[in-house]
Amino acid sequence: ETGVTQSPTHLIKTRGQQVTLRCSSQSGHNTVSWYQQALGQGPQFIFQYYREEENGRGNFPPRFSGLQFPNYSSELNVNALELDDSALYLCASSLAPGGGETQYFGPGTRLLVL
């Protein structure tokens, strides 16, 4: 069974640029969620994708957007990068979108914005 994978592992961008992060869900999982983990803090929910649509969103501005593909993999796009976007971005997958499901996390992508 393949776990959640993410790419790239590390990324350096400059303020104002755009970035795309990628996630492959665990085998059999159709739901993907994205989290931002700033240094010294717990992960914060960005949004969740199910059936190729966003079905829940946290307190993040519209410049954070995503996609889910028919094979359930997902992308997180961030436009107009700001210094505060520097963080570890985590992807998690689950069997279904509801609150009763357990989420399994990938290793994360560490983004540094200069």
Min. distance of Cβ 1 from other proteins in angstroms?
15
Identify which range of 19-27, 29-37, 66-74, 76-84 contacts other proteins by CB under 8 A: 29-37
- Residue 30 binds other proteins, judged by CB under 8 A: no
Tell me phi and psi for residue 110, to 5 degrees: -95, 120
**Of 8, 1, 81, 89, the residue nearest 44 (C-alpha):** 89
Q: Which of residues 54-113 bind other proteins (CB under 8 A)?
A: 55-56, 58, 90, 92, 94, 97-108
Residues 70, 63, 108, 111: is their CA dihedral positive or negative?
Answer: positive
Residue type for position 17: Q
Identify which range of 11-19, 27-35, 60-68, 72-80 contacts other proteins by CB under 8 A: 27-35
Residue from 1, 9, 42, 70 binding other proteins (CB under 8 A): 42
Report d(CA 47, CA 13) in Å as an integer: 22
The token duo for 79 is 């436009």
Q: Which residues contact other proteins by CB under 8 A?
A: 4, 31, 33, 35, 40-45, 48, 50, 55-56, 58, 90, 92, 94, 97-108
